[in-house]
Amino acid sequence: MSKITTIQLFKNIKTLVEQSKRELYVIANTTLTETYFHVGRLIVEHEQQGSNRASYAKETLINLSAKLTTSLGKGFSVDNLENMRKFYVVYKDDYLKHINKNQKSETVSRKLKKGTKSEAVPRKSEVIAKSETLSRKLSLSPFKLTWSHYIFLSNIDIVIERKFYEIEATSENWSLRELKRQYESALFERLALSRDKAKVKELGKKGQVILKPSDAVKDPYILEFLDLHEKDFYSENDFEQAIINKLQGFLLELGKGFLFVDRQKRIKMDGDDYSIDLVFYNRILRCFVLIDLKIGTLQHKDLGQMQMYVNYYDEEIKDEAESKTIGIILCKNKKESTIKYTLGKGNKQIFASKYKVFFPEKQILKLIQESSRPPLTPPKEGKRKLN
């Protein structure tokens, strides 16, 4: 056994303690959230047995809050008890589905274990056993986010939209602040704009799934965090610098899988120098993503220039194993006919998206989404049979 230095011993212990603290936090948070869910269940069951009058329910919560606060301390205000009640009402069906699914999995697991010989299974170390117990406990609970996340989510009335934000907040590890920001920037509506009804339903079941370039592109992009709206005038250089200054926020707005590569990337062709504003890489699609910034209306020459950049990267930069390069032009305004006739029908690599420096009106985006769906065609009448 090789000797370790005092510094290495210190690092090992520090890592172990910090990991344990993180695990304890996760367990405590999951247990607390599930406890609040069951408190809400008890309140609802009590109300169902009593009067249906709103005044009765309110009086019950006031009395209950006073007694619980005296006995258990903070955390049981009337508002928080109402949050627990609403949390149960909103999530009771999801909770039951999750529990039933786990019970079926446990049954299958037991049957498989009965068919194996116990002698062939090596004894597990105490550390591994504890880790598996933790993982199992966390998997049994459907609540992966903090209590504050669920208070916010419970107030989203549209089921598909609420489930979408819950899936994305869990998979992308959004803080409550980031969850609120994505909701206020109407992420669900923006993604739904480019999808038909079937694809919109998928957002509520799987979240944002990226399989092709268009899945990774939004229109519009919301860049309120750049604080450009506070300026009377800003140039494309100001725009780019603001993005670099708030790069973390910009990466979050770009979405899943984006990594920053370079700014003002210089390329040379036939003795001429060109600069690509921003270069990113998407690890899900395994391709480079080139972004050009335009503070005015998109012109056909902007599309031609981006086409040249994309072609250059495909020929000179990307590896054979990587997918084709994507180009995104961020502009204040665009004309769809210009894009259509410049790029042609077969275009799957170059996109033009508007950007906004303030939060959009969610209701307006919903109306746009509804109006953009194709009208339902009446069923064709069959030929009448002659008597």
Mean pLDDT score, 105-109: 56
Q: Closest Cα to residue 279, out of 293, 298, 260? A: 260
Q: What are phi and psi of 275, to 5 degrees?
A: -130, 125
**Domain assignment present for 374:** no
**Domain assignment present for 270:** yes
Instruction: Report the domain count for the chain.
Output: 2
Range 259-262, long-range pairs (CB < 8 A, 24+ positions): 259/283, 261/288
Residue 334 in this model has a pLDDT that exceeds 60: yes
Distance CA 354, CA 199 (A): 22
CATH code of residue 308: 3.40.1350.10
| Claim to verify: residue 138 and residue 238 sit in the same structural domain | no
Helix (H, G, I), strand (E, B) or coil at 114: helix
156 or 19, higher pLDDT: 156
Mean pLDDT score, 299-314: 94
pLDDT tens sequence across 338-355: 998 898 888 999 999 999
Mean pLDDT score, 62-88: 93
| Claim to verify: residue 100 and residue 218 sit in the same structural domain | no
**Domain assignment present for 45:** yes
Q: What's the pLDDT score for residue 137?
A: 57
Chain-centroid distance, C-alpha 341: 34
Distance CA 52, CA 107 (A): 40
**Domain assignment present for 37:** yes
Distance CA 202, CA 157 (A): 18
Distance CA 51, CA 81 (A): 18
Question: How would residue 26 be classed by pLDDT, with cut points 50, 70 and 90?
Answer: confident
pLDDT tens sequence across 269-297: 888 999 999 999 999 999 999 999 999 89
Percent of the chain with pLDDT over 90: 50
**Domain assignment present for 23:** yes
Q: Residue 58 belongs to what domain range?
A: 7-109+134-145
